Structure 1
Amino acid sequence: MPTILVVDDDSRIVDLVQTHLNSQGYATVTASDGMDALEKLKKSSCDLAVIDVMMPFMDGFQLTKEIRKKYDLPILLLTAKDQIADKEAGYEAGTDDYLVKPFEPKELLFRIKALLRRYEIDDEPVLRIGNIIVNTKTFEVTVDQRSLFLPPKEFDLLVYLIQHKKQILSRDQLIEQVWGMDFEGDERTIDVHIKRLREHFKSLAPQVHIKTIRGIGYMMEEIE
């Protein structure tokens, strides 16, 4: 998964953003100010930066300019101000997007995903769990050199489960991530697709389980 740099002098905001990013499988690197962020970038390879505007020593505009000198990664600025002048300053500094505080975590995640797509930063194309290999570029699923071609939503669901293996995923989360916010069906759709995936791999990959978490949803795990 992509690694995201989170820069804010407010530890509560850092914790909030980091928690939501980690819940979606993103790796995170955090910094408390601009100077700290530049030091972290020297040591860690980051794919995107979420930067607060109002920080001591070096504000978000200055940090954005410094990042642009050496790194090619999308930048999203966070600010408490909703003024045209501030947005203009942000875009002139080189930011790709702008989000005003207070913000909904879901909106932050949507914007991050859009920026990663724009920069063509994607997850690893090949995923593995047990003897199951999934190629997200060719949409091919291989089990012990036997190829399977799943229907699109079954494939997307499998990918998301593998990307978040050993994590408990609610039905609402699966619907939102696989079917989208505009999905008009119900939770039974998830259950049907989970049942089909279990049927596909029951005999081919018996060590890979999609575990039902009663009252919540599902979790994919590998039984050793």
Structure 2
Amino acid sequence: MEQAREIRLLVVDDEPGILEFLELGLRNEGFEVHTAPDGPSALTAAQAVRPHVVILDVMLPGLDGFAVCRALKEMGDVVVILLTAKDAVADRVRGLDIGADDYVVKPFSFEELLARIRARLRVQFPYLGKEVVIGPFRIDDGRKEITFEGRLLALSATEYELLKYLVLHHDTVVSKARLLDHVWGYDFGGQDNIVEVYIRSLRDKLEDDEHRVIRTIRGAGYRLDLP
């Protein structure tokens, strides 16, 4: 229960009974649950709340589940679990082909859906609510603290999210646009040089004067290298 509280779920279905059933059940499991009744509102909600998991019906008004799934995967890290009709094998195959992580057949068991959610979270978001050690970094997501080489860093909330993202995606070049979208949100209206300001601050706190930990990859973004 303690771990689930910070995990955001979005349930998308045009049947009010299913939405109410899943919202109540998943909230009772400790998740933060948001709902949407159609494709367009699902994408709006996803941009606003940045869910970790989306439970997505295939047959939706406005925009079908396949189009929504494709758009969700372009937004960033998110688990998509499709709800499909019992005999729609082609739908399941198509969904997996376009990036869905799993599927559950209607009518479904709540316990099975819950097990699939937890299984996918363990694979894609293993750090949620837990302490994770990656090289010289120790991330305590429950306490929102990061330790580097045994030293607790004094980080603001934004610095924490930025450094955590870079550490979890270490050895990967991350663009400035991707950092803005993930840390500041899709509707951030400020200047994009805010990323440079925060990177400079992180380097100071890491005592990374020679930029050996957080490297600037000219024209591409930033890459965190593990010493």
Q: Is the 8 A contact 1:47 1:121 kept in 2?
A: no
| RMSD between aligned residues | 1.9
Instruction: Tell me the amino acid that sits aligned with residue 57 of structure 1.
Output: G
Tell me, yes or no, if the aligned pair for 1:4 and 1:47 is still in contact at 8 Å: yes
User: Which of structures 1 and 2 has the bigger CA Rg?
Assistant: 1
Please report how far the alpha carbon of residue 5 of structure 1 lies from its aligned counterpart in structure 2 after TM superposition.
0.6
Which residue does the alignment assign to 1:97?
Answer: 102
Query: How does 1:24-173 map onto structure 2 within 5 Å?
Result: 24-125=29-130
CA distance in 1, matches of 2:94, 2:49: 27
**Contact residue 74 and residue 96 of structure 1 kept, 8 A:** yes
Tell me which residue corresponds to 1:178.
none
The alpha-carbon deviation at position 121 of structure 1 amounts to: 4.3
Q: Is the 8 A contact 1:76 1:96 kept in 2?
A: yes
In the alignment, the residues of structure 1 paired with residue 141 and residue 71 of structure 2 have an alpha-carbon distance, to the nearest angstrom, of 35
Which consecutive segments of 4 or more residues in structure 1 shift more than 2 A? 81-84, 120-126
Which residue number corresponds to residue 13 of structure 1? 18
Q: Distance in 2 between matches of 1:47 and 1:114?
A: 13
The answer (yes or no) to whether the contact 1:62–1:93 under 8 Å persists in 2 is: no
SS in 1 for 2:104: strand
Deviations 1:103-162 (A, max 9, x none): 011111000000100102454238xxxxxxxx899xxxxxxxxxxxxxxxxxxxxxxxxx
Separation in structure 2 between the aligned mates of residue 25 and residue 122 of structure 1, nearest angstrom: 17
Over 3 Å counting, the alpha-carbon distance change for 1:122 and 1:64 in structure 2 is same
Given that 1:21 and 1:28 are in contact with CA atoms closer than 8 Å, whether structure 2 keeps it comes out as yes
Tell me: CA distance 1:120–1:35, structure 2 relative to 1, closer, same or farther (3 Å): same
What is the TM-score when the length of structure 2 is the normalising length?
A: 0.53
Please give the per-residue CA displacement for 1:4-44, whole angstroms capped at 9, x wherever unaligned: 01001111111111111011100011111110011112211
Equivalent residue, structure 1, for 2:28:
23
Q: Deviations over 1:59-114 (max 9, x none)?
A: 11110011111222110000123332111111112100010111011111000000
Matched length: 129
- Given the two structures, how large is their TM-score scaled by the length of structure 1? 0.54
Supply the distance in 1 between the matched residues of 2:130 and 2:93 (Cα, whole angstroms).
37
